[in-house]
Structure 1
Amino acid sequence: MSDPAPPSREPAQGHRHGRLTTRPHPPVVSGPTGIVPLPGGDGGRPAMAYVPEPAADGAAYRLVVLLHGAGGSARHGLDLLLAEADAHHLLLIAPQSSATSWDLIAGGLGVDVGHIDALLASAFDGYPVRGVTLGGFSDGASYALSLGLANGDLVDAVLAFSPGFAAPPVVRGRPRIFVSHGVNDPVLPVDVCSRRFVPHLRGIGYDVTYEEFPGGHDLPAGIRARATGWLTG
């Protein structure tokens, strides 16, 4: 995987509106496998990737961008689905947010959208990709939902683990959506978060699979497995 181009300090117009502009294309290089640290190129903001070994039949990867919660790290994002990646042939990319949380939450879309766009372009350069998913936990789940709904012409699935909201600046396409939430979540209470916006998304035509579990602000192993099976099934 080639190093992603650093995002401009002045966000591109499309990035201000949450739009990802890169698109899958045939690889131009052969990228490495395993855990791959990616230099951020913009003041020390790193990203990480995990790439399984190529499939024996040459099958393309499903690419999953994983977004950490507030105060988290790229490694926290990667760990959301690291245990599932080999069995399901998932190419994982985990960016680091520009602030303690993602730009939509921290003050305005732009720099994080550009960073994710550059990471996607780098992945498409190095690997065959057959589908793009945005996923995340907590604030990262809210950001994945918001960007996913804004980019349904690129993103065909969204994984939202314990999200707080969905606020797409624009809407494109109809990605399918998996949402999970603990019924005793003390950080983002389910009654004012997922139980409120999941019915709304269904009502406007989105295919939403919703799983509640008896727990708090967490991602249990069983939910992780069901979400991955849903994604690749």
Structure 2
Amino acid sequence: MPVPENARAHPTIQENARHGRLTARPPAAAPEPQDPPEPGTHPLDGGALLRVPPGTPPYRLVVVLHGAGGSARQALTWLLPQAGADGLLLLAPQAAAATWDLIVGGYGPDVSALDAALADVFRRVPVGPAQVAVAGFSDGASYALSLGLANGDLFDAVLAFSPGFMAPVIRHGRPRVFVSHGTADAVLPIGRCSRRLVRALVGDDVPVTYREFAGGHEVPPEVAAEALRWWSGA
């Protein structure tokens, strides 16, 4: 599905959570933060976790999505070793069910919960415009691709670790995409998952960086570090 040329800058009333659309946006000019959190991990409404690094804002923000049966806390671990050095905020939402709404019945509750968490973060913590990415592993990577392509006017990059599919209802913007996958993945075999997805993305003129590694269904630390360097342009 090609990216619409007339993609608009902001969601409309018709494009809502049932379309996978997010409405929260960082302000163009960072206001004085309200109730700014201290460095560390903080619980938010809906089971989400916010990891605040030491250092001086504004920050860059990565939304990190767990896999099926996983948790927000588990999702933080993939990028946490690099987050402090890179000054990254990590927002890890918790799916309402065992996995994300798209997979169990269609976009809806998890999109709304993520939207509320993002609005809370943008209110409390200065985040630079065009410095928001979405990442995920396994089912979370499939969800990250789907949400990222639907919200390219919010996310400038998608980091998809071992995705199985993508299913954006609509597309806005043109985020850059990083995909990684283990050649020995027995859970989501690379041939019918990432290799197929990358071909489709390239065919849609989406900028893609693809990394295969010798391993299974996992996020190797060196691949996570590479993905963050790719996003930052380092």
TM above 0.5, one fold? yes
Mapping of residues 121-132 of structure 1, within 5 Å: 121-130=119-128, 131-132=131-132
Q: Which amino acid aligns with 1:38?
A: L
CA–CA distance in 2 between the matches of 1:48 and 1:153? 23
Deviations 1:32-66 (A, max 9, x none): 121112232xxxxx1111011232xxx52111110
Q: Equivalent residues in 2 for 1:215-230 (5 A)?
A: 215-230=215-230
2:168 aligns to what? 168
How far apart, CA to CA, are the structure 2 residues paired with 1:139 and 1:216? 15
Which of 65, 68, 71 is the aligned partner of 2:66? 68
Q: List structure 1 segments (4+ residues) > 3 angstroms apart after TM superposition.
A: none
Matched with 1:113 is 111
TM, length-normalised to structure 1: 0.89
Aligned match for 1:104, one of 87, 96, 102: 102
Note the C-alpha offset of 1:30.
4.2
Residue type of the partner of 1:63?
L
Correspondence for 1:49 = 50
Corresponding letter in the other structure for 1:15: A
Deviates more, 1:179-188 or 1:77-86: 77-86
Q: Does residue 87 in structure 1 map to residue 88 in structure 2?
A: no
Q: Deviations over 1:113-164 (max 9, x none)?
A: 0011011101100111121111000000000000000000111000000000
User: Alpha-carbon deviations, 1:77-130, whole Å to 9, x = none?
Assistant: 111211111111110000110100000001110100001101110110011112
Residue 125 of structure 1: SS of its match in structure 2? helix
Q: CA deviation at 1:166?
A: 1.1
For the pair 1:14 / 2:19, whether they are aligned, the reply is no
Distance 2:41 2:70 in 1: 18
Structure 2 CA distance, aligned partners of 1:168 and 1:206?
A: 14
Unmatched 5+ stretches in structure 2: 1-13
2:34 counterpart letter in structure 1: V
- Number of positions where the alignment pairs a residue of Structure 1 with one of Structure 2: 214
Aligned equivalents of 1:175, 1:93: Cα separation in 2: 19
Does the residue aligned with 2:111 lie in a helix, a strand or coil? helix
SS at match of 1:80: helix
AA paired with 2:75? G
Letter in 2 for 1:183: T
Structure 1 unaligned blocks of 5 or more = 1-11, 41-45
Give the Cα separation in 2 of the matches to 1:14 and 1:54.
35
Alignment partners' CA distance in 2, 1:80 and 1:112:
21
**Paired residue secondary structure (2:191):** helix
Q: 1:31 maps to which residue?
A: 36
Give 2:9's aligned residue: none
Q: Deviations over 1:157-177 (max 9, x none)?
A: 000000001111101100000
Equivalent residue for 1:78? 76
TM-score (norm 2): 0.89
